[in-house]
Amino acid sequence: MKDLIGIKELSKQDIEEILNTAKAFKEVLQRDIKKVPTLRGRTAINLFFEPSTRTRTSFELAEKRLSLDVLNFSVSTSSVVKGETLYDTLKTIESYNVDYIVLRHSSSGTAKFVAENTSASVINAGDGTNEHPTQALLDAFSILEIKGRLDGLKIAIVGDIIHSRVARSNLYLLSKFDTEIRFVGPPTLLPQEIPDNVKIFFNLKEGIEDVDVVMILRIQLERQKGAFIPSLKEYSHFWGLKKDLLNYIKKDAVVMHPGPMNRGVEISTEVADSSQSLILRQVTNGIATRMAVIYMLKPKEV
Ligand code: CP
């Protein structure tokens, strides 16, 4: 593959191959010397048109661990603020003969557009409400580390699903395995079209009952054009995952959140910092998973 635009385009075998490669890279990351010479002499650019903490820093670390030369493009100090188009920015970057472009953008479909207009390998680091494929891959990797399998698991995705590229990528990934997928949230935050393999719950306790994994999503106020919820206080009351609700999930169930979290809104501090929380493990696993993705892509020969 030249690019990673979404999980939708991947087969189950592709996903398993990426996750196995990530496992090998995680072992490398636990050594004294955490770097491999694999991609020495090649160049990656991180092109982030939207804010990011975890994705941007873990891509940069992944690239450096693979011995890539790394350029970080800061939109706020670039000629984008003077009105330069995405196409012209792309062609400028391409003139440097870069091999990998990691792209985050607020518009769905941007990663595909960029991939179609460059010979570099493009990795979608989140495009609008469309997909965030490396997040779903690192989530699957984290579940596999703890549970040893994806098949047979019950997984509840809770909250602002309609605006979530993380939810879409996870839906595509988990649907390729034999999992029970639940969408849990208020009707206004669930997509209009929901695949047949997804169970819908409009009640948090019922939705998380007896599940193996709860994925809590951030309320994305920046993408909400209109009143999707009456207030954050009310949302937190009905949909926030608090400690007492952990009694409803399986005893060995885990809680995940892609970050950034709104503590006290969709997740309480007690739950976020509990022994059942995988949140920091997800962050750690971002590096090995993103190393695997970069390593497996092949830029076009020019
Ligand atoms: N999960 C995630 O995409 O976090 P950032 O926005 O901090 O990269």
Query: How far is residue 204's CA from residue 182's CA, in Å, rounded to a whole number?
Result: 11
Nearest residue (by CA) to ligand 1, atom 3, is: 55
Segment 113-126 mean pLDDT = 97
CATH code at 133-278: 3.40.50.1370
| CATH 3.40.50.1370 domain locations along the chain | 12-132+284-296, 133-278
CA 48–ligand 1 middle distance (angstroms) = 11
pTM of the model: 0.96
pLDDT in tens, 229-245: 888 999 999 999 999 99
Instruction: Compute the distance between CA of residue 28 and CA of residue 36 in angstroms, rounded to an integer.
Output: 8
In 3D space, the residue among 186, 138, 140, 180 whose CA is nearest the CA of residue 163 turns out to be: 186
At 206, list the tokens. 């019922």
Ligand 1 site-directed mutation target among 46, 50, 52, most atoms within 8 Å of CB: 52
Confirm or reject: Cβ of 52 under 6 Å from ligand 1. yes
Q: What is the pLDDT of residues 86-105, one digit of tens each?
A: 999 999 999 999 999 999 99
What is the distance in A from the centroid of ligand 1 to the CA of 301?
31
Is the Cβ atom of 135 under 6 angstroms away from ligand 1?
Answer: yes
Domain boundaries 12-132+284-296, CATH class: alpha beta
